[in-house]
Amino acid sequence: MMRLLLVAAAALLLPNVVAFSRAVSCDLEHEYSCGFQCIPLEFLCDNVRDCHNGLDEESCEYLHSCPIGDFMCRTGECVSSHFKCNGLAECSDGSD
Ligand SMILES: [Ca+2]
């Protein structure tokens, strides 16, 4: 009973931690499982880290890469990492 109360209290106090520690089930026909997170299959090996653990970019072979210090847009364009998340779209698709 005490253990049940502790789990309930933890769930109330730390909802994000409890939710994150739960494995999720993905729709594997359309999604890739990072373990505790699902991402669209098209995000796999696209040179952008989408999984919190980076699993979607491990064991990938890339046909195209960007110079060190650059960020690769989802379109494959290379832009300086300094411009990533600066509120302006340097990538033609706005993926930066
Ligand atoms: Ca990715």
Pick the CATH number of 23-61 from 1.10.3470, 1.10.1660, 4.10.400, 1.10.287: 4.10.400
Q: Find the 94 Cα to ligand 1 centroid distance in Å.
A: 16
Q: Find the 39 Cα to ligand 1 centroid distance in Å.
A: 8
Under CATH, which architecture does the 64-96 domain have?
Irregular (4.10)
Q: Find the 8 Cα to ligand 1 centroid distance in Å.
A: 35
Fold agreement between 23-61 and 64-96: yes
- Residue 15 exposure: Cα atoms within 13 Å on the Cβ side: 1
Rounded-to-integer distance, Cα 6 and Cα 3, Å: 5
Task: Parse the chain into domains and list their residue ranges.
Answer: 23-61, 64-96
Q: What pLDDT is recorded for position 37? A: 95
pLDDT per residue, tens digit, the chain (96 aa), is 545 444 444 444 444 433 445 678 999 999 999 999 999 999 998 878 899 999 999 989 888 888 999 988 888 899 999 999 999 999 999 989
Residue burial 40-74, b: 16+ Cβ < 10 Å; e: rest: eeebbebbeebbeeebbbeeeeeeeebeeebbbbb
Neighbours of ion ligand 1 (CB under 5 A): 43, 46, 48, 50, 56
